[in-house]
Structure formats: structure tokens, C-alpha cells
Amino acid sequence: MIDDFRNQKCLHKRYAYQIVLQTREILRSMPSLVDVTVPNGSKFTVCGDVHGQLFDLLNIFELNGLPSEDNPYLFNGDFVDRGSFSLEVILTLFAFKCMYPSAMYLSRGNHESKSMNKIYGFEGEVKSKLNDSFVELFAEVFCCLPLAHVINDKVFIVHGGLFSVDGVKLSDIRAIDRFCEPPEEGLMCELLWSDPQPQRGRGPSKRGVGLSFGEDVTKRFLQENNLDLVVRSHEVKDDGYEITHDGKLITVFSAPNYCDQMGNKGAYIRFKAPELKPDIVSFSAVPHPDVKPMAYANNFLRMFA
């Protein structure tokens, strides 16, 4: 399948349908907050946004090995939109989820939603490469994606960030009924949309959704939940990552040369148990076929792309 994707061939609808339906069943049975156990001596890789950049995703697998029971991955949301190989990316990740359910973890990002997919290209791409009924099916499966993960009770991983109120416990995240489109406010919205800020306290979000949260908010959340580190994605960074909040928060972003114009590197983080010290690997973009980003996006946006 991956070889076909490299050669810009489409997967037959029948097989795409089987992969997506099987993934839906697996995801549906998972909690909103997933506990991941990494045995001593084993490693675990966390990747950030991929945004439909298939050839950079395949490069991660070249550099760090294919997902397997001995080489598990977590992809931290925003698999689709902007990049024009979003369908191939999501089918690749979903196929690995079906093959090795405990070696491919997937978190929901703010782009795993109907409203974003309508604007930023995934909906148009699915209609072009498969058909309209798949649009609804993907929207349904995206509503089954877990919202956050915790590795070995120590590392909290979420797409966006933390909360507008103090005192949020992991049990509160576990209790979220996630099977819906993301709301405009509340815990689920903030998990998907929030960003860190350099100053203490909280502030309004530059995105108009979620909030900005400071180092004190991060440290308090970690302390109250007996955790060591927050890993999140959601923002492009020059080196593919950024360490802030006194080393307690790492942003990781895995779409290098984002939208073919940002010139940034991508990165992923390797954790090895029991220490779980983050080992961050940066990488550069690789060539891809001449299909522009946002090729399937809403026409209005394409004028500005």
C-alpha cells in the first residue's frame, strides 16, 4: 500500500473502507485518556503534526523504523489538512493501527474535525480520491480518537495544551464524552486548541479558540497529577521542537518545510524507559511529487495559498 502511495496510486475503495471501519472499532473501545506502558529498556516515539505530508511521514519511518510491537509510535493529532496527501497519511496510520493496535497510538488534533476539514482540504481530497460517503465516515472515526495519553504515569501528551481552570485531574479527562465534534469551550476544546505562553498565568489565544497558559499553569498541573512533563504539538517550530516552561513542556511538530514554504525542520521525540528522558531528533523535508499544499482546499482559501 505504501509503495502504491509513493507512486501516487489510490487504494481501492473496498480496502479503504475495511481499514477505516476496523480502526473505528478499535478507537471506539479506547478511553478518552489512554495510559501507555513502556517496559524498561524499551523505547517509544512521539510525533507531532504531519498535516498530509506523506513523504515526510515515510521519511520518519526510514529514519526511526516502521511501527511494530518493538517500535511503537504516538502521532499527536493533525494528521490531515493543508498537505495534499492527507488521505494517504491517514490510511497509512490507520492501517498500522489495525496491524499493531498497541504499537500505533493516535491522538485527536484540532484538525480532526468537520469544520476544519471543510476549509483546509481533507474533505475535498476525500471526495476527489474516494467519494462523498467517506467524508462522513472519516468524520465519525475522528470523533472516536482519544484526546490525550500518559506514558508510564509520568509524561502527559496532548495535541494543544492545558486548561482555563486549575485543579483539572487526569480522571476529569478520562471522563470526557469525546464522541462529538469539538465544542467551542470546555476541557475538550482546550486540550485540542490551547498554546503555551512565556508569561505566567493565562491569556487569550491568538487563535480565537482555547487559551494561552504560562509556566505556572504547567507546573501546577504536573504537580497536582504527579507527572513530570507535558508534550504537545499544534505549533510550527523552526527546529521542529521547542522546550519551554523551565523544561517542563516540549512542543513537537513533525511537518518539515510546512506547506512547502516555512523552511522549518520537523522533529520527533524518543523516550526510553524507565528514565523517559526525551531524546529529540530533528530532520529536514524530503522531495515530494509536484502537488501543491492546499490543492484540495476550499476555493476561497486557495486564492491566498
pLDDT in tens, 166-188: 999 999 999 999 999 999 999 99
- What is the number of structural domains in the chain? 1
Q: Tell me what pLDDT residue 303 has.
A: 53
Q: Which residues are catalytic?
A: 111
Model's pTM, two decimal places?
0.97
Q: pLDDT tens across 93-149, in order?
A: 999 999 999 999 999 999 999 999 999 999 999 999 999 999 999 999 999 999 999
In the predicted model, is pLDDT for residue 300 greater than 80? no
Report yes or no: 296 and 125 within 8 Å, Cβ to Cβ.
yes
Cα–Cα distance between 245 and 217 in angstroms, integer?
A: 9
* Omega within 30 of 0 (cis) for the link into 39: no
Taking a C-beta distance cutoff of 8 angstroms, is the pair 75, 49 a contact? no
CATH number at residue 177: 3.60.21.10
- Domain span holding position 290: 2-302
How many Å apart are CA 147 and CA 175, to the nearest integer?
11
Which grid coordinates are listed for 278?
526525551
